[in-house]
Amino acid sequence: MIFVENEFAPLKKVILTVSEFGFPEMMKVEDLRFLSSTALEGDDANAGKDFGEVYPELQKAWEQERHNFALLLEKYGVEVLRPRNLTTLEKVSGGEHGYSNFFVRDPFFTIGNAVIEGSIRFMQRRNEIWPIRDLLEREVYQSDCLYVAAPRPAMAEQEELALWHGPFLEGGDILVYGKHIFVGNSGLSSNSLGIKWLSKLLQPYGYQVEEVKLHPNILHLDCALGLIREGLMIVCEEALPYGIPQKLKTWDKIVVNLKEASLLATNGLPINPTVYVTDPVFGYIGDKLSACGVHVEYVDFQISRSFGGSFRCSTQPLLRSFQ
């Protein structure tokens, strides 16, 4: 069965990413504005090289972070699936753009019983769906669900990412709340054309899709907003220029600032409405969640976060339901 009810229903089956990254030969500084000052993804000195070859000890530690996370998920009865690694041919095909296989949230996403391959804006991530497809073929074709892909993005003549036509649609921008779908748009990832396409797809099934404008330095909506359980959220209000979406305005909120958001303070993962996973660096947020009756589990994710993503970015649910 494939079905995602919302962001906090009990997680039962999930794809957890692996840890592969090849540095692009050239990366524009403005394209990396969402990364913290300690980020590794924008390491110009290692342009064109494999992260694991340049930093073998960090690579081992990075893989261990994801392994520790998998063990925690399994402790709560979650079935954890892992993508395969990229082949040599797949790595080479990225050319000067490099390659990535490090955040499974974005190349595809699940809404209800619909599995949707997205459309990635960054060139080095456009082939990230390939190592996931083996799992999708195994899980999707045997399930009673919709399987569809967003249109391939148009070629771009402009250098500035925000001016590219798209359509772009990335899973990190998608927050599922029953039949209401929030989709972020900062100019770095999903765009209005991608959101319009998603609305066109889902409207016949009774879904309402709402575009949420984001601060230009925020990569995805889940870097600004996290739904913990019904009526409780972690939010960076500075990252939402038009404010919290109307449907969530009455919710209790734990507020973080823009600097904390850039460090992925909102990007933890609810295992169910009473259990939440975050990095120990956000222990002060965990204390506030505990005061709200949420049990908080901690996994060190420092290296993963240095690439611009955390627990939610590292996962994509296939089954998250109260049933």
The answer, yes or no, to whether residue 26 has pLDDT greater than 80, is: no
Instruction: Look at residues 273, 278, 232 and name the one whose alpha carbon lies nearest to residue 252.
Output: 232
Structurally, how many domains does the chain consist of?
1
The answer, yes or no, to whether residue 50 has pLDDT greater than 60, is: yes
3-state secondary structure the chain: CCEECECCCCEEEEEECCCEEECCCCCCHHHHCCCCCCCCCCCHHHCCCEHHHHCHHHHHHHHHHHHHHHHHHHHCCCEEECCCCCCHHHHHHCHHHCEEECCCCCCEEEEECEEEECECCCHHHCCCCHHHHHHHHHHHCCCCCEEEECCCCCCCCCCCHHHCCCCCECHHHEEEECCEEEEEECCCCCCHHHHHHHHHHHHHHCCEEEEEECCCCCCCHHHCEEEEECCEEEECHHHCCCCCCHHHCCCEEEECCHHHHHCCCCCCEEEECCEEEECHHHHHHHHHHHHCCCEEEECCCHHHHHCCCCCCCCEEEEEECCC
Q: Tell me the whole-structure pTM to 2 decimals.
A: 0.93
pLDDT in tens, 67-82: 999 999 999 999 999 9
Q: How confident is the model at residue 280 (pLDDT cuts 50, 70, 90)?
A: very high
Among the residue ranges 60-64, 155-159, 279-283, the one predicted with the least confidence is 155-159
The answer, yes or no, to whether residue 7 has pLDDT greater than 70, is: yes
Quote the pLDDT of residue 34: 46
Domain that holds residue 232: 3-320
Quote the pLDDT of residue 123: 87
Mean pLDDT of 39-43: 55
Among the residue ranges 30-39, 194-203, 215-224, 259-268, the one predicted with the least confidence is 30-39
CATH code of the domain in which 35 resides: 3.75.10.10
